[in-house]
Structure 1
Amino acid sequence: MSSNANGHRTQGVGALVLGAIGVVYGDIGTSPLYTLKECFGGSHKIPFSPDSVYGILSLIFWALMIVVSIKYVIFIMRADNNGEGGILALMALALRGTERTRTRWFLMVLGIFGASMFFGDGMITPAVSVLSAVEGLTLINPALEHYVLPVAIAVLIGLFAIQRFGTASVGKLFGPIMLLWFGALGVLGLTEIVSHPMVLKALNPYYAITFIVEHKIHAFFVMGSVVLAITGAEALYADMGHFGSFPIRAAWFGFVLPALVLNYFGQGALIINDPTTVVNPFYLLVPESIRWMMIILATFATVIASQAVISGAFSVARQAVQLGYCPRLDILHTSEQEIGQIYIPFINWLLMLIVILLVVSFKSSSNLAAAYGIAVTTEMVMATILTFVVMRRIWKWHIGLISVGIALLLIVDLTFFAANAIKIPEGGWFPLAIGAVTFTLLTTWKRGRELLFQRLSEDALPLDMFVESVGAHPPHQVEGTAVFMTGSRTGVPHALLHNLKHNKVLHERNVLLTVATEDVPYIEEKDRLKVESLGYNFWRIEATYGFKEEPDIHQILGLCESMHELSFDMMETSFFLARETLIASKVPGMAIWREKLFVWMSKNATKATDFFKIPTNRVVELGTQVEL
């Protein structure tokens, strides 16, 4: 086993395929627990008949083929940002091929809102998945119904509590457990299909089209439940950086897709043979003698599905921080080998609190299913539009060809979105509300940082002029090195001016350090630093990181010595940071409420010393007041 340049371990294809089955497909793999039940249940029930079963099965099958197989597995996974996927990585890739300001703004809105909806999805997935698994207890003994909520809440609390220990050891079990889960899905479905092989004719799209034509408005409502079969499709793309495109594709076409199709069709065959089983076709497909075993396995599978979403929320939050859309957060690494395994306490406990409130408020998986889907379909629409830009601007595909293909995909995506939009009063408002709040926070932080930089730049002295002036009339110098953290490449850092104004001294060597994040996931070591001598013992250092990397002062100073022969003695080096006191004002920039929100976010952000891993005993903070 070896490591590549980006810090990821290189494993055998078999191990990567097994890992993809365990992590990537947890969400979509637990959809059979509730999808078919919701298609025939809910507030828009379809009159039962064998033809309606065939029609719904055909809709589910072709949703899996068009949205998951064709759109995500075949096409969108080609849009890798240096091997990384996810809505923010796709946004960064689309922006790279776009120069017009208005178009860039539109694409940024799409990407940020898509990422915001991911958090709404990340809150509903654990709640609906765990609840649907634990609800199987009522089929063993109806008297156990009162224990469903307490057991589900206990499982969820345990899941979030273990996040701080990392998933390195637990993750080794994910692959084998999900392998067993998908194997069980396939075997159970195949066993029932044998008793009613005619159900396989639902593979013909004719039955889906006929169902839509005959049922019209009812078919439209059912599409809001059919979409439950493809929730988790975005994980294929988001987790591409962990496993690579080939293992994810191999796992899908070689094992996961066949297992899901067999189970859905097995449930359909069961309903045709006995319409009363529509109350819970998944568990009633299991022989009664081993049903309790399936409940345990399903609970493990839903925990794993939830784990994948939680880890995804950590990853998206880190990307948002690095790309400048989110305040600095405490990010802890839980593995010395895997760079992607991180833990963000604030995100973890916030997710847990809201997930438990969801379980207590909605009380059943059927009620939660009304809230499920709107977040996923919104993100799918965003991803389709961004992919169109990548196909045209980056890949240079023919405009006519991609327009037809994207239009067809958008018709499917928008149909699913519209079908879920009617569920907004029933619970769909929740992920939209979470998405709107998150979007407001992310855009406020981004705009606030731009505004703060603009205000600081207005008063900044030109750096070249300052250095020449200091060289001509040098102030008193003291021994050692002073490192001034600054976001500007041309202006004098405020901390430097304040130090000179109040202390009347300069260090014998002064370094202006700027840390920037590019819209690529990783930066090669050879491209990490740009070191420039400004004369008179002034140096400018620009350190560049990818949006999946974290800045580290020790690494930066080490590279200065090894690559640029600029050595630092940490005991002789002081780090000067400007500590801004922000004041909301009526100066044109942002609405006053957004400025106050930005001030609050800034006060609660992780300290720069912790984020950049600067030794606290070597830091000097100098205050400055800024009106936004």
Structure 2
Amino acid sequence: MVLCVGVILGFGCGKEIGNAFGVVVIMVMLITTIMLTLVMIIIWRTPPVFVGMFFIPFVIMEGSYVSAVFTKIPEGGWLPFAVSMILALIMFVWYYGRQRKIEYEMANKITLERLGELLAMPEVQRVPGLCFFYNNIQDGLTPILGHYIKNMSSLHTVTIFVTLRYLLVSKVDQRERILIKRLRPRGVYQCTIQYGYDISEGLSLKGGEDLVTQVMRCLKQHIAMSTDRRSSVSTEEEIANLEAASSAEVVHVRGKMRFYVGDDASCFDKVMLRFYEFLHSICRSALPTLGMPL
């Protein structure tokens, strides 16, 4: 609303606003034609003849419109390009910050061997309860785990490292939505939750089960069907330990990693990473949308 009022007050003339709107409409038409052509080639595998029959007439017609409205750029048509540049900058900063964070996590990830060493420390205790520890990487464990164990000097008897995995599909089949894997330390498991871009229903399955119930059910099925017995614990004893931990306490741990921008950082990094931290601070978490408690 504020931006719309600002545009009206800034232009003060319906003609220039109409020029800006005209540039937006025709550019959207041209971009839609180009994107649909890419879909026909890459996804639908449409024969080149039919792709050409669609692309050539539309791009000639819409290209003519674009060349005509370009003359209106100095007369208000510059506004959509300015807005696009701002949005592109925000997306680039978000992508750059995420990549830097992933690089750090991969370089400092906790391996299973390192986890075993941390749990073998005399001051670290395995406390009763079930812990859902949210992990951002799949090949290894987040560096936040090391800080957590050192600061808390403990880890729950049953700890499930939960990783969210986004797939390029609308919905993921319920049988493939939750994947369980037993890790080497006793009572430690890895859970990968897969979801598509249509998350309107969250992670709800049949019966309206919550996250804990879903994961517990899948974990029990995995334990019952698993033939990989790395310890002397029987299937019945492992399931009993799981139920006892769930009855004792259920804790959700979600670490938050922040950038430290030192004085020796480049000007580019100072601006980009601080801007990313601002965006991250106002970004809403995806966990509640997926049916996960904070």
User: Which of 254, 279, 283 lines up with 1:601 in the alignment?
Assistant: 279
- CA–CA separation in structure 1 for the residues paired with 2:290 and 2:247: 15
User: Which of 557, 561, 568 lines up with 2:216 in the alignment?
Assistant: 561
Q: What stretches of structure 1 move > 6 A for 4+ residues in a row? A: 471-474
Q: Does 1:465 align with 2:113?
A: yes
- CA–CA separation in structure 1 for the residues paired with 2:20 and 2:3: 14
Name the aligned partner's letter for residue 114 of structure 2: F
User: Which of 550, 562, 575 lines up with 2:252 in the alignment?
Assistant: 575
Rate the CA distance shift 1:471–1:593 in 2: closer, same or farther, 3 A. closer
Q: Deviations over 1:22-78 (max 9, x none)?
A: xxxxxxxxxxxxxxxxxxxxxxxxxxxxxxxxxxxxxxxxxxxxxxxxxxxxxxxxx
User: 1:159 maps to what in 2?
Assistant: none
SS of 1:508's partner is: strand
Q: Does 1:479 align with 2:128?
A: yes
- CA–CA separation in structure 2 for the residues paired with 1:545 and 1:435: 29
SS of 1:488's partner is: coil
User: 2:24 maps to what in 1?
Assistant: 375
- CA–CA separation in structure 1 for the residues paired with 2:249 and 2:57: 64
- CA–CA separation in structure 2 for the residues paired with 1:562 and 1:365: 61
Q: Does 1:418 align with 2:73?
A: no
Deviation at 1:527, TM superposition (A): 2.2
- CA–CA separation in structure 1 for the residues paired with 2:188 and 2:164: 17
- CA–CA separation in structure 1 for the residues paired with 2:248 and 2:283: 28
Q: How does 1:436-515 map to 2 (within 5 A)?
A: 436-462=85-111, 464-469=112-117, 475-515=124-164
Deviation at 1:558, TM superposition (A): 2.9
Deviation at 1:393, TM superposition (A): 2.3
Deviation at 1:547, TM superposition (A): 1.6
- CA–CA separation in structure 2 for the residues paired with 1:454 and 1:613: 28
Deviation at 1:415, TM superposition (A): 1.6
The answer on whether the counterparts of 1:467 and 1:534 sit within 8 Å (CA) in structure 2 is: no
Deviation at 1:495, TM superposition (A): 2.9
Q: Does 1:549 align with 2:227?
A: no
Rate the CA distance shift 1:609–1:549 in 2: closer, same or farther, 3 A. closer
Q: Deviations over 1:406-457 (max 9, x none)?
A: 1322122222222222111111111111111111111221221121111121
Name the aligned partner's letter for residue 549 of structure 1: I
Deviation at 1:549, TM superposition (A): 0.9
CA root-mean-square deviation: 3.0
Name the aligned partner's letter for residue 190 of structure 2: R
How many residues align structurally? 264
SS of 1:578's partner is: coil
Deviation at 1:591, TM superposition (A): 4.9
Q: Does 1:399 align with 2:31?
A: no
SS of 2:21's partner is: coil
Deviation at 1:582, TM superposition (A): 1.4
The answer on whether the counterparts of 2:180 and 2:218 sit within 8 Å (CA) in structure 1 is: no
The answer on whether the counterparts of 1:521 and 1:546 sit within 8 Å (CA) in structure 2 is: yes
Q: What TM-score results when the alignment is normalised by the length of structure 1? A: 0.38
Q: Deviations over 1:340-391 (max 9, x none)?
A: xxxxxxxxxxxx1112223334455444211112223223322222222222
- CA–CA separation in structure 2 for the residues paired with 1:591 and 1:549: 34
Q: Deviations over 1:300-332 (max 9, x none)?
A: xxxxxxxxxxxxxxxxxxxxxxxxxxxxxxxxx
User: 1:538 maps to what in 2?
Assistant: 188
Rate the CA distance shift 1:398–1:611 in 2: closer, same or farther, 3 A. closer
Q: How does 1:103-114 map to 2 (within 5 A)?
A: none
Q: Deviations over 1:124-163 (max 9, x none)?
A: xxxxxxxxxxxxxxxxxxxxxxxxxxxxxxxxxxxxxxxx
In proportion to residue count, which structure has more helix?
1
Q: What TM-score results when the alignment is normalised by the length of structure 2? A: 0.77
Q: Deviations over 1:546-565 (max 9, x none)?
A: 12316569743232234443
Name the aligned partner's letter for residue 213 of structure 2: G
Runs of 5+ unmatched residues, structure 2:
222-242
Rate the CA distance shift 1:524–1:480 in 2: closer, same or farther, 3 A. same
Q: Deviations over 1:529-577 (max 9, x none)?
A: 1111114111111111212316569743232234443768487111222
Runs of 5+ unmatched residues, structure 1:
1-351, 617-628
Q: Work out the percentage of aligned pairs sharing the same amino acid.
A: 17
The answer on whether the counterparts of 1:460 and 1:492 sit within 8 Å (CA) in structure 2 is: yes
The answer on whether the counterparts of 1:583 and 1:599 sit within 8 Å (CA) in structure 2 is: no
Q: How does 1:232-247 map to 2 (within 5 A)?
A: none
- CA–CA separation in structure 2 for the residues paired with 1:423 and 1:384: 22
The answer on whether the counterparts of 1:466 and 1:492 sit within 8 Å (CA) in structure 2 is: no
